[in-house]
Amino acid sequence: MGEPIKVDIIYKTYLCRDDHPTIATGGTFSVQTGACMIESMTASWSGGKCGPGVRALGASDFDVEKKEYPTRCQVNTR
């Protein structure tokens, strides 16, 4: 089992509360965006951080693919 990954989801409006889930390496997560639009998202751990492509910001179901060698990750829509 790998190190937990912290995800920071920032919404475009102050009317929507930002989300900060922590997931296991290779885990998945979902957010209830409703009428909220995601402005930015980053997944981070002690070895680095990454985020989804711009097209993914309209989705609500994600997984994080993390590779140790070379260190990199990618947030994907499901």
pLDDT (0 to 100) of residue 30: 81
Report pLDDT digits (tens) over 13-66: 888 889 898 888 777 888 777 778 888 888 888 877 777 665 556 677 777 777
Q: What is the DSSP string of 14-66?
A: TTS--B--EE-TT-EEE---TT--EEEEEEEETTEEE---GGGGG-SEEEEEE
pLDDT (average), residues 73-78: 70
pTM of the model: 0.72
pLDDT (0 to 100) of residue 43: 84
pLDDT (0 to 100) of residue 1: 53
pLDDT (0 to 100) of residue 51: 72
Domain extent, residue 64, equals 5-77
Q: How many domains does the chain have?
A: 1
